[in-house]
Amino acid sequence: MNLEEYFPVLMFIIIGILVGVAPQVLGRVLGPHRPDPEKLSQYECGFEAFGDARMQFDVRFYLVAILFILFDLEVAFLVPWAVVVTDIGSTGFWGMMVFLGLLTIGLAYEWKKGALDWD
């Protein structure tokens, strides 16, 4: 087994860790650290926090978040496709139309079920 082929992967991991950790360490070491009760207090819309932090949320919050991610990913697929649509021909065009059709059917289903209604 030739491990030299994995050297770029190892370097990528090391650089990724450094990029993620080094700014935090530098900020902690070089930055001022003067905590006081005002800085360490909880902040919630300009007034003191009330109630329990572990209260249950309505499932619609999560549903809206999942729907946002779903349609955000649609755009992530749609933009590169739009760039190369003239190069991929009719097969690529109709493939994307099927994808968009499935997403439209899913949106219509969610709409019909009332997932987008906020009562």
pLDDT in tens, 48-77: 666 676 777 777 778 778 888 888 888 888
Higher-confidence residue: 36 or 13? Answer: 13
The per-residue pLDDT for range 65-111, each reduced to its tens digit, is: 888 888 888 888 888 999 998 899 999 999 999 988 998 898 888 88
The rounded distance, in Å, linking the Cα atoms of 88 and 38 is 59
User: Do residues 25 and 19 lie in contact, with contact meaning Cβ atoms separated by under 8 Å?
Assistant: no
pLDDT at 45: 65
| Mean pLDDT score of the chain | 85
The rounded distance, in Å, linking the Cα atoms of 30 and 73 is 39
* Residue 20 confidence (pLDDT) above 80: yes
Mean pLDDT (whole number) for 31-57 = 74
The rounded distance, in Å, linking the Cα atoms of 71 and 91 is 23
Q: Which long-range contacts (CB under 8 A, 24 or more apart) does 49-58 make?
A: none
